[in-house]
């Protein structure tokens, strides 16, 4: 009977490990299948523009039509005759970062060289982040293994790989996928050095030091809020290895020192030029604490449950999801405490919750609300630690017979949310605009758009073929009718077709009331009426308000 019980336990363990390995494989396959399944969103096209080194050449459209193809050329590497031009392009990239971009250079420089190798297609540009996200899954395995053993490592890697929020950012041309890699890699290497105090293998000891120092430097050069993570690692040292604190301090300090050349030359200039107001402004005084708590709940809900669905959900739904996550984390923590897992629980809480509390403390001290900025992505560094807490609870906090069903249910939930995100949500708005332009051949077309936002302009430039004869009139909503009237007064016959692209969210130049919007729309219709007839109307929408447009295609009236 004892032998049968042992065999049963081995069978359960074996089947659970196969389940986890299968989930990791599915996570990799999902990334590969979805590399080119959706178009660039607003911030991604900025990443491409910066990575080409040509952001400084971008000029916002004026009150007269411009050739759209001139913007398309900015999304490719400039023609270079030799090494001098190569270094000039790199110099332009760094200058574009200094001129107002609030991020360090590592992500953009790495994407620049990737662009040189593989081109600027969606699949090519996203593939580097995808590879780094797979590396992050490997680092998550190492982190879980050093805390909980082999199966704990597999579980943490599977949860990170299938997690809807990280899956989305693994296929997002921004810096958040590599940020998680640097967070997991630094935590793994630090804990390995803490738990493996035997330094007789000099080469192995040196390797882990290099990994820790390098990942700390890479994290700071990828995202400035990684500074919260460095403080978190320092607290982890005091919690688990206070006796050797000065050795770990030297390692963390060395990583920080490696970033000094950029900090001295670049960061100070960025601080002078950056528009930091975009990262949070004070809200209503009467609900300050409620807003802070809401930011915490929403950040946890987005990172651990709903992922990019946040862009389509009402804030109250996101807050409720966050409250459910907080309740789950509390249950996990209480269960682990009662089971005598205080030390490992402390590690997980430090890695998962402390960065969130640090950001909250800074927000309170500065009277800002930056924690909730960017739909949870600015705090993506909490994801490995929070998932480690769930992993610890599954491994040590629930009975063995329930472990496999719980893991299967959690992975299935994540998988359902992730697959639904990529298959049920429309992400081809600018493809649809391009189809309207090219379906009737190469007729000269004027696009009149009520937005000067570079994200809208550059997405048009990316998706509309450069060989199409397209002019663009991009104006603020309050000025579009006036500029369009001037353009058509003497030159209406130059444009056999006109596409009126009405954005519901022109970003920095929105009209204040519905009455103003209606009045300007009526003015545009009156201006078009003598010259054009409406032939096609499409209501286009994506996953966020920035992607909502009404596209009205007009053709020129026949001459009398």
Q: Are residues 335 and 483 in the same domain?
A: no
> Quick one: pLDDT at residue 507?
83
Q: Are residues 128 and 27 in the same domain?
A: yes
> Quick one: pLDDT at residue 414?
96
> Quick one: pLDDT at residue 230?
97
Q: Is residue 309 part of a domain?
A: yes
> Quick one: pLDDT at residue 449?
95
Last residue of a domain, one of 407, 424, 441: 424
Q: Are residues 332 and 188 in the same domain?
A: yes
- Phi, then psi, of 453 in degrees rounded to 5: -60, 130
Cα 122 to Cα 467: distance, rounded to the nearest angstrom: 19
Cα 226 to Cα 229: distance, rounded to the nearest angstrom: 5
Cα 13 to Cα 403: distance, rounded to the nearest angstrom: 9
Q: Which residue has the tokens 């919690």?
A: 239
Cα 492 to Cα 34: distance, rounded to the nearest angstrom: 43
> Quick one: pLDDT at residue 279?
53
> Quick one: pLDDT at residue 10?
46
> Quick one: pLDDT at residue 171?
95
Residue-wise DSSP of 91-114:
HHHHHHHHTT--S-SHHHHHHHHH
Q: Are residues 335 and 450 in the same domain?
A: no
Q: Is residue 95 part of a domain?
A: no
Q: Is residue 209 part of a domain?
A: yes
Range of the domain at 386: 19-43+116-424
Domain count of the fold of the chain? 2
* Both structure tokens of 66: 């411009």
For 476-520, the pLDDT digits (tens) are: 999 999 999 999 987 878 889 999 999 998 887 888 788 888 999
Q: Are residues 148 and 257 in the same domain?
A: yes
Is there a contact between 475 and 520 (Cβ–Cβ < 8 Å)? no
3-state SS string for 456-494: HHHHHHHHCCCCCCEEEEECCHHHHHHHHHHHHHHHHHH
Cα 265 to Cα 517: distance, rounded to the nearest angstrom: 45
Q: Are residues 171 and 320 in the same domain?
A: yes
Q: Is residue 111 part of a domain?
A: no
Q: What residues in the chain have per-residue pLDDT under 50?
A: 1, 5-6, 8-10, 282-285
> Quick one: pLDDT at residue 52?
94
Q: Is residue 72 part of a domain?
A: no
Q: How far is residue 525 from each of residues 214, 343, 494, 530, 531, measured CA to CA in Å?
A: 59, 68, 19, 9, 10
Q: Is residue 104 part of a domain?
A: no
Q: Are residues 472 and 498 in the same domain?
A: yes
Q: Are residues 502 and 452 in the same domain?
A: yes
In the chain, the N- to C-terminal Cα span, in Å, equals 98
Q: Are residues 376 and 306 in the same domain?
A: yes
Helices (H), 339-466: 342-352, 354-366, 383-396, 400-424, 429-438, 454-463
Q: Are residues 384 and 445 in the same domain?
A: no
- Strand partners of residue 497: 445, 555
Q: Are residues 490 and 537 in the same domain?
A: yes
Assign residue 495 the CATH number of its domain. Answer: 3.40.50
Q: Are residues 437 and 398 in the same domain?
A: no
Helices (H), 171-221: 176-195, 202-220
> Quick one: pLDDT at residue 1?
44
Last residue of a domain, one of 357, 392, 424: 424
Cβ neighbors of 429 (< 8 A, separation 6 or more) are 39, 540, 541, 542, 547, 549
> Quick one: pLDDT at residue 267?
85
> Quick one: pLDDT at residue 199?
60
Q: Is residue 393 part of a domain?
A: yes
Last residue of a domain, one of 405, 424, 443: 424
Q: Is residue 363 part of a domain?
A: yes
């Amino acid at each position: 009977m004892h032998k049968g019980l042992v065999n049963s336990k081995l069978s359960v363990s074996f089947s659970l490990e196969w389940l986890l390995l299968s989930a990791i494989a599915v996570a990799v396959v999902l990334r590969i299948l979805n590399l080119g399944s959706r178009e660039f969103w607003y911030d991604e096209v900025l990443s491409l523009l910066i990575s080409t080194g040509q952001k400084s050449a971008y000029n916002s459209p004026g009150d007269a039509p411009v050739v759209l193809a001139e913007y398309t050329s900015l999304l490719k590497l400039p023609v270079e005759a030799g090494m001098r031009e190569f270094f000039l392009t790199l110099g332009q990239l760094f200058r574009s970062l200094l001129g107002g971009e609030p991020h360090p250079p590592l992500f953009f420089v790495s994407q620049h060289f990737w662009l040189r190798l593989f081109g600027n297609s969606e699949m090519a540009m996203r593939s580097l982040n995808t590879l780094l996200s797979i590396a992050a899954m490997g680092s998550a395995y190492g982190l879980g293994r050093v805390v909980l053993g082999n199966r704990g490592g597999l579980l943490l890697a599977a949860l990170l790989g299938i997690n809807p929020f990280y899956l989305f950012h693994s296929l997002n041309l921004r810096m958040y996928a590599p940020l998680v890699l640097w967070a997991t890699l630094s935590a793994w290497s630090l804990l390995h050095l803490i738990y493996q105090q035997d330094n007789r293998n000099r080469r192995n000891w040196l390797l882990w030091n290099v990994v820790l120092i390098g990942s700390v430097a890479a994290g700071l050069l990828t995202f400035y809020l990684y500074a919260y993570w460095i403080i978190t690692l320092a607290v982890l040292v005091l919690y688990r290895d206070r006796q050797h604190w000065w050795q770990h301090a030297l390692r963390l300090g060395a990583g920080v020192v490696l970033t000094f050349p950029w900090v001295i030359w670049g960061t100070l200039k960025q601080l002078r030029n950056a528009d930091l107001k975009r990262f949070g402004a004070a809200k209503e005084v009467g609900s300050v604490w409620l807003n802070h708590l809401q930011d915490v709940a929403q950040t946890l809900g987005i990172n651990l449950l709903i992922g990019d669905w946040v862009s389509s959900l009402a804030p109250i739904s996101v807050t409720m999801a966050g409250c459910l996550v907080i309740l789950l984390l509390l249950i996990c923590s209480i269960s682990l405490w009662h089971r005598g897992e205080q030390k490992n629980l402390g590690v997980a809480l430090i890695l998962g919750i402390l960065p969130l509390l640090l950001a909250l403390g800074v927000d309170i001290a500065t009277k800002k609300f930056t924690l909730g900025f960017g739909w949870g992505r600015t705090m993506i560094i909490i994801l490995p630690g929070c998932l480690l807490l769930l992993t610890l609870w599954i491994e040590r906090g629930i009975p063995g017979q329930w472990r496999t069903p719980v893991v299967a249910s959690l992975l299935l939930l994540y998988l359902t949310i992730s697959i639904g995100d990529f298959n049920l949500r429309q992400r081809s708005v600018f493809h649809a605009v391009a189809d309207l332009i090219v379906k009737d051949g190469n007729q000269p077309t004027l696009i009149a758009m009520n937005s000067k936002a570079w994200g809208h302009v550059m997405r048009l430039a990316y998706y509309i073929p450069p060989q199409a004869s397209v002019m663009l009139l991009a104006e603020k909503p309050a000025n579009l009718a006036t500029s369009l009237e001037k353009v058509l007064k003497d030159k209406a016959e130059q444009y056999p077709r006109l596409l009126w692209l009405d954005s519901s969210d022109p970003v920095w130049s929105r009209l204040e009331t519905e009455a103003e919007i209606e009045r300007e729309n009526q003015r545009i219709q009156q201006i078009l009426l003598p010259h054009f007839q409406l032939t096609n109307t499409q209501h286009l929408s994506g996953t966020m308000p920035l992607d909502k447009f009404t596209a009205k295609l007009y053709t020129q009236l026949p001459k009398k």
